[in-house]
């Protein structure tokens, strides 16, 4: 099953790190995924996100305002 992963952020170093760790976690779990980096501030606020970076899994926002480690991200993907 293909998972849709979205990293919300304006492209700051923390946003890039969250995208990198999310790809790493999904790869280690062997999950098929599509990663979208949402950088448009209007789309970010429309999703109800007021702090970045943020991670959404299949349309559900799971993390806001922090960069969790790979193990925590894996738990969110399962």
Active site residues: 12, 15
Query: Which residues, at least 6 apart from 29, have a Cβ–Cβ distance to it below 8 Å?
Result: 74, 77, 78
Q: Is 67 helix (H, G, I), strand (E, B) or coil?
A: coil
- 18-42 CB burial, b ≥16 within 10 A, e <16: bbebbeebbeeeeeebeeeebeeee
């Amino acid at each position: 099953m293909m998972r849709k992963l979205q990293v919300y952020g304006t492209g700051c170093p923390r946003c890039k790190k969250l995208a990198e760790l999310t790809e790493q976690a999904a790869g280690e779990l062997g999950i098929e995924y599509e990663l979208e980096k949402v950088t448009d501030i209007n789309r970010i606020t429309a999703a109800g996100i007021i702090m970045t970076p943020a991670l959404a899994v299949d349309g559900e926002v799971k993390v806001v305002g922090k960069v969790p480690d790979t193990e925590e991200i894996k738990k969110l993907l399962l």
